[in-house]
């Protein structure tokens, strides 16, 4: 009987200890939940601040680069550096978020260092595009606004990013080329020079006066307002074709005037040759009917008399 009170006391003590432990666990869980909520809230604020901070930093970098005299007319460097600034700010913000959530960034860096080979192999294409973008920015084979031909694509350069080069062709189609492919291919900068030569081949009849034809072509081209006068207009006989003599015209214009000037010269020189009475040969079909020869365009649809049966047959 004397053991009953002792047993009851022990049970009560153990119950008190269990309740105290539960209370401690509950307080600890409450504290952890509270800390997690605070950290998540702060992390969300950091993300929002990073987003707006990256936009502000990009805008500040763009304004600062706009004050540099050498970069006012060239948007290639500006777009590239602005994107780098944006990526750096976002990266710093993500590291701050991870640290706020209790993630040890040093351990992440150590893991990434240990897995650098695998990461490098998996991202070799992406990293090569970044490296190629830096080289393109340094070598400057083209700038924003230049008309270039890269492989089979031709268009105006719109922007040079970390990973790609964006073009727009004559049909307003957007072309995106990886920087590594651009750097490894032949780049033809069509508008890279201030001036460009227009080369047009004309044909005249063998019976035409070649000196007169050359002078008509030369004088007509020289009179065009877009043809530059500091480089003489050149004409010369460059071919003896099957049914015509080929005369080539060389004239220099500003790169931006090349297309329209070339089209204008085709029309004006053709009209000038017509006014001068100089024939421009064109293919003609000829049909033979026994001993008769005639142009197909001038033949009647009915067969010639030489092919008709005689009345006595």
- Where along the chain do its domains lie? 18-112, 115-189, 195-275
Query: If DSSP states are collapsed to H, E and C, what string results for 45-83?
Result: HHHHHHHHHHHHHHHHHHHHHHCCHHHCCCHHHHHHHHH
Report d(CA 25, CA 28) in Å as an integer: 5
Please determine, for residue 195, whether its predicted confidence score (pLDDT) is greater than 50. yes
Cβ neighbours of 85 (radius 10 Å): 19
Asked which of 103-107, 156-160, 297-301 is least confident by mean pLDDT, the reply is 297-301
CATH number of 195-275: 3.30.70.100
Taking the alpha carbons at both ends of the chain, their separation in whole angstroms is 156
Q: Is the pLDDT of residue 150 over 60?
A: yes
Report the Cα 65 to chain-centroid distance in Å: 22
User: SS3 breakdown of the chain: % helix, strand, coil, rounded to 5?
Assistant: 55, 20, 25
Per-residue model confidence (pLDDT) at position 80 = 72
Q: Please determine, for residue 19, whether its predicted confidence score (pLDDT) is greater than 70.
A: no
Q: Which CATH architecture has domain 115-189?
A: Roll (2.30)
The secondary structure of residue 306, as a DSSP letter, is: G
Confidence band, pLDDT 50/70/90 cuts, at residue 288: low
For residues 76-86, give the mean pLDDT. Answer: 74
Q: Which range among 21-25, 264-268, 292-296 shows the weakest confidence by mean pLDDT?
A: 292-296
Indicate the pLDDT class of residue 273, thresholds 50, 70 and 90: very high
What pLDDT sits at residue 187?
A: 92
95 pLDDT exceeds 70? yes
Write b or e for each residue in 43-54: b if 16 or more Cβ atoms lie within 10 A of its Cβ, otherwise e: beebeeebeebb
**What six digits make up the tokens of 235?**
């004409």
pLDDT at 76: 64
Instruction: Give burial (CB, 10 Å; 0-12/13-18/19+) of 237.
Output: middle
What pLDDT does 93 receive?
Answer: 82
Does 144 score more than 70 pLDDT? yes
Instruction: With cut-offs at 50, 70 and 90, classify the pLDDT of residue 59.
Output: confident
Distances in Å between the Cα of 198 and the Cα atoms of 38, 195, 269 are: 70, 10, 14
Lowest mean pLDDT across 14-18, 181-185, 263-267? 14-18
DSSP classification of residue 309: P
Question: CA 65, CA 76: separation in Å to the nearest integer?
Answer: 11
Q: What is the pLDDT of residue 87?
A: 80
Residue 112 binned pLDDT confidence (cut-offs 50, 70, 90): low
The pLDDT, as a whole number, for residue 23 is: 66
**What's the pLDDT band for 49 if we cut at 50, 70, 90?**
confident
Q: 3-state DSSP call for residue 153?
A: strand
Instruction: Identify the band that residue 72 occupies on the pLDDT scale cut at 50, 70 and 90.
Output: low
What is the overall mean pLDDT for the chain?
79
- Rounded to the nearest 10 degrees, the angle between the axes of helix 124-139 and helix 75-100 is 140
SS3 304: coil
User: 277: left (phi > 0), else alpha (psi -120 to 50), else beta?
Assistant: left
What does the pLDDT read at residue 298? 44
The set of residues, in sequence order, having a beta carbon less than 8 Å from that of 14 and lying 6+ positions away, is none
- How far apart, in Å, are the Cα atoms of 178 and each of 16, 124, 172, 185? 70, 13, 19, 11
Residue 125's pLDDT is: 66
Short-list 284, 262, 270, CA closest to 217: 270
From the candidate CATH numbers 1.10.10, 3.40.1710, 3.30.1360, 1.10.287, the one assigned to the domain spanning 18-112:
1.10.287
Query: Which 8-state DSSP code applies to residue 207?
Result: T
């Amino acid at each position: 009987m004397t053991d009953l009170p002792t047993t009851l006391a022990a049970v009560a003590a153990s119950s008190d200890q269990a309740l105290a432990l539960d209370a401690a666990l509950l307080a600890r869980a409450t504290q952890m939940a509270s800390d997690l909520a605070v950290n998540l809230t702060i992390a969300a604020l950091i993300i929002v601040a990073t987003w707006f901070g990256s936009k502000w930093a990009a805008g500040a970098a763009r304004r600062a680069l706009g004050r540099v005299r050498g970069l006012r007319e060239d948007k290639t460097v500006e777009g590239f550096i602005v994107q780098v600034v944006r990526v750096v700010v976002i990266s710093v913000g993500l590291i701050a978020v991870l640290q706020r959530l209790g993630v040890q960034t040093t351990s992440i860096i150590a893991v990434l260092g240990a897995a650098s080979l695998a990461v490098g192999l998996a991202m070799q294409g992406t990293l090569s595009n970044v490296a190629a973008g830096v080289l393109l920015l340094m070598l400057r084979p083209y700038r924003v606004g230049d008309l270039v031909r890269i492989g089979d694509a031709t268009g105006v350069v719109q922007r040079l990013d970390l990973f790609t080069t964006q073009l727009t062709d004559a049909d307003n189609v957007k072309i995106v080329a990886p920087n590594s492919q651009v750097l490894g291919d032949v780049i033809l900068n069509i508008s890279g020079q201030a001036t460009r030569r227009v080369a047009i081949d004309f044909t005249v009849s063998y019976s035409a006066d070649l000196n007169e034809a050359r002078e008509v072509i030369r004088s007509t081209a020289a009179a065009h307002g877009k043809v530059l006068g500091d480089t003489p207009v050149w004409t010369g006989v460059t071919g003896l074709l099957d049914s015509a003599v080929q005369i080539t015209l060389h004239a220099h214009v500003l790169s931006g005037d090349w297309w329209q000037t070339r089209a204008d010269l085709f029309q004006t020189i053709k009209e000038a040759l017509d006014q001068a009475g100089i024939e421009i040969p064109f293919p003609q079909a000829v049909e033979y009917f026994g001993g008769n020869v005639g142009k197909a365009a001038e033949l009647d649809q009915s067969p010639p008399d030489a092919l008709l049966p005689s009345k006595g047959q």
